[in-house]
Amino acid sequence: MKRYIARRLMQGVVLLCAVATIVFFLGRLTGNPVDLMLPEDATAEDRAHLVQTLGLDGTLFDQFAIFVYKALHGDLGTSIRMREPAVDAFFDRLPNTLALIPWAVLLGMILGIPLGVAAAVNRGSLLDRLAGTVAVLGIAIPSFWLGILLIFVFSVELGWLPSGRMGGPAHYVLPVITLGLFLVAGFMRITRSAMLEVMDSEFVKLARIKGLGEGVVIWKHCLRNALIPVLTLWGVFIGNLITGAIVTETVFAWPGIGRLTYEAVIYRDFPLLQAVIILKSILILSINLGVDILYAYVDPRIRLA
Amino acid sequence: MALADRPEADPRARLLLRRLLWPARTGTGGRGTARVPWIPIAIISMFVIMALFAPLLAPHSPIDQTLRDKLLPPAWMEGGSDKYLLGTDAFGRDVLSRLIYGARVSLIVALLALTAGGGVGLIVGIIAGYLGGTVDSVLMRLVDAAFTFPAILFALLLAVTVGQGLGTLVIAISLLLWASFARVIRGEVLTLRQRDFVALARVRGCSALRIMLTHILPNVLNTFMVLVTLNIGVVIIAEASLSFLGAGIPPPTPTWGMMISEGRGRLADAWWVALIPGIAITLLVLSVNLFGDWLRDRLDPRLRQL
């Protein structure tokens, strides 16, 4: 187990280094990075100062060394627009995104898993078809447009729910639905196919022969085993949630890291974008690592492979 | 009109209509083979024709502004004009014309990104699967890495550093695609490699390159086509999302994502500007996915896990 964790940790570190290197060299690709790093109204002194602190008069390798050194000391540059350290801006906004994500995940699991089980048990029924439609629609509707549609129906026309910004519980409803719909579809599809596979296996037949009630067979014997593949999808879902948060928070003016990413793009705030991407990579990689360890713990076949 | 004259009153016609609207999939309920999804095919054809003949079909210029006619509602609403069937936006541009030209961008990006990303995935998958060993493990590590890191972030980074444009967009979306292509194709090649005809070719002294090109490649083309179809929707949504975030094709070229972005501030007085392009995206992606499901069931049912 320790060896497995160490190996996964090493892979994560290598990947992170690759991301940081790509981000660094893309920033240098377009000629003068000073133009990307400074606001348009910067003075000649600002420029000279930046050139000096980033070592831009040195070779590309020197510059990269300075970038890595600073990054390791928690300095990923200063946001052009907010004129504050990009790392601080990120951690100021992070709690707001973390306040949104668990609800979306909860929505996905509460609706997706039972729906998937029901669809598998009543295979080919109307319910199964309905679930199939939800799955197909959940993939076909772009989430940013779904958010706008929800705002139009529930805020503009009906006036039931607020259209954006953070606030009381009512403010969470629409963003959570927008962010959670693809999770409902995803959880449902995976649960359904995993359940179908498990329901076909020998130990389930044995449980039925033993005379156990259908409820016990389905919910205890089948679902428990079907949930293992659901768990593996966590890695994929986390990446999707982090990127899904960009459009959702943009649509609902939600002050989280997704909205921060969007602002960095539209204001061409390169230092901020660079910091956001590196920090998000760390976030995604550590969650993935956590999930992998959990998965190896639950299913010993993984860590021995 | 007599009741019997109406097609929906005839039970057979009703059944046919229901089957067309709701193509049952093979395997789900033990019903025969999947029916040809005519409605999705018709919708896809409509969008392709829109994209191909945009200059002939669009009633107005998609770019020219007529400020006198700004924010007119669609023709069927009060205050709407026959001149603008789907209304106008805040600059007095015709929504229908922009929608027609927007189909061009979506489909061109889909074509290029699937060729580039799918092609790279195909090559990587064949090489990794056939050669195996170190090459395989290095390439598969890269695939794992590509799966972990969200390509959307990379696309945003490219748009800011290199600049917005068709090239940037296609590269960014290709990065999103190649890994899933490579993984599936590699799996196919692993089983093909064990087959007798490959062993025979090897005994005959065929080079690895020749075996990959003439014996492996033709046998994975079905899978490749299914993957391409199943990923068209992914590309269209990615392009629209990036345009919405201000990292797609730059204005004045009309794109669906940008139309939604421009219209979202005016939901109260001009909902059509933001909502109509979204209907187009959903309709097209839904049709492409249903068509892809059918194609998969016909050509390569083993891929049903996807």
Does A30 reach chain B within 8 Å, measured CB to CB? yes
B-proximal residues of A, 107-146, CB under 8 Å: 123-124, 128-129, 132, 136-137, 139-145
Smallest Cβ–Cβ distance between A139 and the set B156, B159, B289 belongs to B289
Contact between chains at B285 and A265 (C-beta distance less than 8 A): no
Q: Do A124 and B160 touch (CB under 8 A)?
A: no
Q: Which residues of B are less than 8 Å from A15 in CB distance?
A: 145, 148-149
Q: In this complex, how many residue pairs, one in chain A and one in chain B, have their CB atoms less than 8 Å apart? A: 143
Among the partner residues B147, B156, B260, nearest to A265 by beta-carbon distance: B156
Do residue B278 and residue A236 have CB atoms under 8 angstroms apart?
Answer: no
Chain B residues lying within 8 Å of A136, measured CB to CB: 286, 289-290
Query: Which H helix or E strand runs over A27?
Result: helix A2-29
CB contact under 8 A, B290 and A129: no
B162 touches chain A (CB under 8 A): yes
Nearest CA among B56, B151, B144, B154 for reference residue B97: B56
CB contacts of B278 in chain A (<8 Å) are: 141-142, 145, 148-149
Q: Do B246 and A23 touch (CB under 8 A)?
A: no
Q: If you search the block for the tokens 């943009």, which residue do you land on?
A: A250
Enter the tokens of residue A193.
């196919």
Cβ separation B162–A29 shorter than 8 A: yes
List of residues 6+ apart from A200 with CB closer than 8 A: none
Could you please report the per-residue DSSP string of B172-204? HHHHHHHHHHHHHHHHHHHHHTTSHHHHHHHHT
Residues near A51 by beta carbon (within 8 Å), at least 6 away in sequence:
A34, A57
CB contact (8 A) between residue B162 and residue A30: yes
The closest of A13, A6, A4, A3 to A302, measured between CA atoms, is: A4
What are the tens digits of pLDDT across the range B8-42? 445 555 555 555 555 444 444 444 456 788 898 99
Q: Is A10 on the interface with B (CB under 8 A)?
A: no
pLDDT in tens, chain A (305 residues): 778 888 888 888 888 888 888 888 887 776 566 777 777 777 777 777 777 776 667 777 777 888 888 888 888 877 877 778 888 888 988 998 888 888 998 998 898 888 888 888 888 788 888 888 888 888 888 888 999 999 888 888 887 887 777 777 778 888 999 988 888 888 888 888 888 887 778 887 888 888 787 777 888 778 877 777 777 677 778 878 888 889 999 988 889 899 999 988 888 888 888 889 889 988 888 888 887 787 777 777 666 55
B224's CB contacts (< 8 A; 6+ apart) are: B118, B122, B181, B185
Q: Does B32 contact A at CB distance below 8 Å?
A: no
Distance from CA of B118 to the nearest CA of A (A): 20
- Report the interhelical angle of A60-72 vs A2-29 (nearest 10°): 130
Distance in angstroms (rounded) separating the CA atoms of residues A87 and A94: 11
Shortest Cα distance from A168 to chain B (angstroms)? 23
Per-residue pLDDT of A113-151, as tens digits, reads: 888 888 888 887 888 888 888 888 888 888 889 999 998
